[in-house]
């Protein structure tokens, strides 16, 4: 696990910087996704590029995790990172963190069989934290991390989603 002192210093440094200059904490971040072969997508972010896909049973290439896996992984990773950050900030020792995210699905909506929503009906996350600290201290870490988790917030709160479309009909992409 990363050094809790370094995690705490980074968190507190970033917090202080944004408190002093709020504008540095306000920005737009962008990730591009490009379809590269069949159903295989290349996910491009300035620091990383990786593949996403669907499984062969769905007609895909199985070249990477699917969107649902990435969605659950994003939530679980955000929570686990938040727990270790808050543990470092609050001085709570952590030996192990594991977050399991479950999604209840009914694929009839996704397949257009009926009018039910195509997404998950329910998300549930289970947290396992091993620590020599008291249960009260660990619960404080969890509550604070959940309170300020950006991905958990995105799932819990309706956010504005807009769409722009550019169609280049009759042209060959290059």
Per-residue confidence (pLDDT) for residue 173, from 0 to 100:
60
| Successive 10-residue mean pLDDT values, the chain, 174 residues | 88 94 93 96 95 95 96 98 97 97 94 93 96 97 98 95 93 66
Question: In whole angstroms, how far apart are CA 102 and each of 75, 123, 144, 148, 172?
Answer: 10, 6, 22, 21, 41
Residue among 39, 50, 98, 103 at smallest CA distance from 72: 103
Per-residue confidence (pLDDT) for residue 174, from 0 to 100:
59
Three-class SS state of 116? coil
Phi and psi angles of residue 132, each rounded to the nearest 5 degrees, phi first: -85, -5
Per-residue confidence (pLDDT) for residue 171, from 0 to 100:
75
Residues 46/27, Cβ–Cβ less than 8 Å:
no
């Amino acid at each position: 696990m990363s050094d809790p002192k370094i995690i705490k210093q980074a968190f507190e440094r970033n917090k202080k910087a944004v408190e002093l200059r709020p504008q540095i904490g306000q920005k737009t971040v962008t990730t591009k996704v490009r379809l590269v072969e069949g159903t295989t997508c290349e996910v491009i972010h300035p620091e990383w590029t990786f593949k996403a896909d669907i499984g062969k049973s769905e007609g895909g290439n199985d070249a990477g995790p699917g969107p649902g896996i990435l969605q659950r992984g994003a939530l679980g990773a955000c929570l686990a990172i938040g727990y270790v950050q808050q543990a470092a900030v609050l001085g709570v020792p952590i030996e192990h963190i594991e977050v399991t995210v479950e999604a209840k699905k009914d694929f009839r909506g996704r397949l257009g069989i009926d009018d039910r929503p195509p997404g998950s009906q329910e998300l549930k996350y289970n947290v396992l934290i091993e620590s020599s600290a008291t249960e009260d201290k660990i619960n404080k870490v969890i509550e604070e991390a959940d309170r300020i988790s950006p991905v958990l917030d995105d799932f819990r709160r309706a956010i504005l989603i807009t769409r722009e479309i550019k169609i280049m009909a009759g042209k060959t992409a290059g």
